[in-house]
Amino acid sequence: MTAAVLPITSEASATTAPRSPKRRRRPDILRGILAFWCGLVLVVLFVPIGLVVLHSFNRGGSFEVWSHHTTTRWWGILFDVHKAGPSLFQIVLITVIGGAIIAYVPRLFGLANRFGRQWGFPLAFAIGVAVVGHRTNNFHTVFRDKNVGDALRNSFVAAFGATIVAVIIGGLAGVGLARRPGWWTKPFMLTVFLLLVTPEIMDAIALAGWMQRFPAIFNKKFLGFDAGILRLWIGESLYSSAVVTLIVRARLAGIDESLEEAAGDLGAPPARAFRQITLPMISSALVAGALLSFTICLDNTIIAEQVYTAGSSTFPIYLLSQLRSTVKPSVGAAAVVLFGITVASLGFVAVVLKRSGDSSSQIAATLAGG
């Protein structure tokens, strides 16, 4: 016999009365303390990263001990300055000019160019990377240190492929979860949950053993890629596909199925309704999921280290191998490059989600896994 909620009288509910002025004027001490704490945490979060950037310019031979003098020598060891600078410039140039052409020129001729405005710059960026990549022998000549160059390139190829897999299977599963729930939803969500929380080392050893068991499949070249790359695609796609699933599901959960039903009633076959109605609705979730997945995959260390083969060592694996001897500041320089890519890709996530109308809180929710 517990008491129910006390009935609120109309009198009580109507009192949106102004608070006493005394209370309002009191300075919010708690707020000040919390703001200070938050600032402190932010400083601590950024200091180590700042130190890495700083130490990549260290004149001394050690990554750890600051010599009080700066040099760009380590960047020179990593990159061929005469190639890297112009290459970067070319990519930026192609992105800006090409993007502007795709996005704005059709407009001059009075064409509605929704696709161009939405995808002009990303498309131009992709073209720029492809063109410059072709001119520099797949970015081979940009790097002076071939090991770092190969490792970074492998990281990209692996993360890119894994992201494609993750977006396809995660996107479809997300739509299925939101639109065709049933008895399968619970076990399926349990699997997603397990994927998110299983310690990576467990996935890693399990996959390594599994791939060793079927050497005929996993030790062969695949579509012209090294066998290790296929292994990395599989290994890195697991976690990120779960993330994409959750993001897509969260996006569709807020919208009911009436639009798709209307399309169906108007005679659109399911495939067409999916392409013309559902896909545009989830496109921002897919792009955000893809970029997030790319960031996660680029960083994958534990699974990559267990499943890679000699020719497909990725950048984190290279970094770990460098730890056996004294760490050189050039490691810091490479780390800064990776950091820049992460920031850029997160920035894109924020822009994409913001454009689709999400508030910062919703973006945070997306990043925290739906």
Rounded to whole angstroms, the Cα distance separating 370 from 364 reads 9
Q: Name which position in 100, 320, 321, 351 contacts another protein (CB under 8 A).
A: 320
Q: How many CB atoms lie within 10 A of CB 242?
A: 23
* Burial degree of 354 (CB within 10 A; 0-12, 13-18, 19+): middle
CB of 80 to another protein, least distance (A): 23
CB of 107 to another protein, least distance (A): 31
What number of chain residues touch another protein (CB under 8 A)? 103
Residues 157-176 that bind another protein (CB under 8 A): 165, 168-170, 172-173, 175-176
By CB under 8 A, residue 126 contacts another protein: no
Nearest to 233 by CA among 320, 187, 280, 167: 167
CB of 179 to another protein, least distance (A): 8
Residues 32-71 that bind another protein (CB under 8 A): 34-35, 37-38, 41-42, 44-49, 51-52, 55, 63-66
CB of 340 to another protein, least distance (A): 10
Q: How many CB atoms lie within 10 A of CB 229?
A: 23
By CB under 8 A, residue 26 contacts another protein: no
CB of 84 to another protein, least distance (A): 20
Q: Which range in 23-31, 70-78, 82-90, 92-100 contacts another protein by CB under 8 A?
A: 23-31
By CB under 8 A, residue 129 contacts another protein: no
Q: Name which position in 26, 31, 69, 114 contacts another protein (CB under 8 A).
A: 31
Nearer to another protein by Cβ, of 277 and 367: the residue is: 367
Nearer to another protein by Cβ, of 18 and 110: the residue is: 18
Instruction: Copy the structure tokens of residue 167.
Output: 């977006």
Nearer to another protein by Cβ, of 102 and 208: the residue is: 208
CB of 143 to another protein, least distance (A): 18
DSSP string, 27-53: --HHHHHHHHHHHHHHHHHHHHHHHHH
Residues 198-237 that bind another protein (CB under 8 A): 198-203, 205-210, 212-213, 215, 234-235, 237
Q: Which range in 88-96, 111-119, 177-185, 253-261 contacts another protein by CB under 8 A?
A: 177-185
Nearer to another protein by Cβ, of 61 and 269: the residue is: 269
In residues, how long is the chain? 370
CB of 329 to another protein, least distance (A): 11
Instruction: Copy the structure tokens of residue 346.
Output: 């997160």
Rounded to whole angstroms, the Cα distance separating 232 from 253 reads 32
By CB under 8 A, residue 359 contacts another protein: yes
Using an 8 Å Cβ cutoff, are 174 and 245 in contact? Answer: yes
Residues 230-269 that bind another protein (CB under 8 A): 234-235, 237-238, 241, 245, 264-265, 267, 269
CA atoms within 13 A on the CB side of 285: 29
Rounded to whole angstroms, the Cα distance separating 241 from 164 reads 9
Using an 8 Å Cβ cutoff, are 74 and 57 in contact? Answer: yes
Q: Name which position in 14, 216, 310, 368 contacts another protein (CB under 8 A).
A: 368
Using an 8 Å Cβ cutoff, are 200 and 303 in contact? Answer: yes
CB of 46 to another protein, least distance (A): 6
CB of 221 to another protein, least distance (A): 19
Using an 8 Å Cβ cutoff, are 18 and 295 in contact? Answer: no
By CB under 8 A, residue 338 contacts another protein: yes
Rounded to whole angstroms, the Cα distance separating 155 from 334 reads 13
CB of 29 to another protein, least distance (A): 11
In three state form, how does the secondary structure of 228-256 look? HHHHHHHHHHHHHHHHHHHHHHHHHHCCC
Using an 8 Å Cβ cutoff, are 349 and 284 in contact? Answer: no
Q: What are phi and psi of 225, to 5 degrees?
A: -90, 160
Residues 270-289 that bind another protein (CB under 8 A): 270
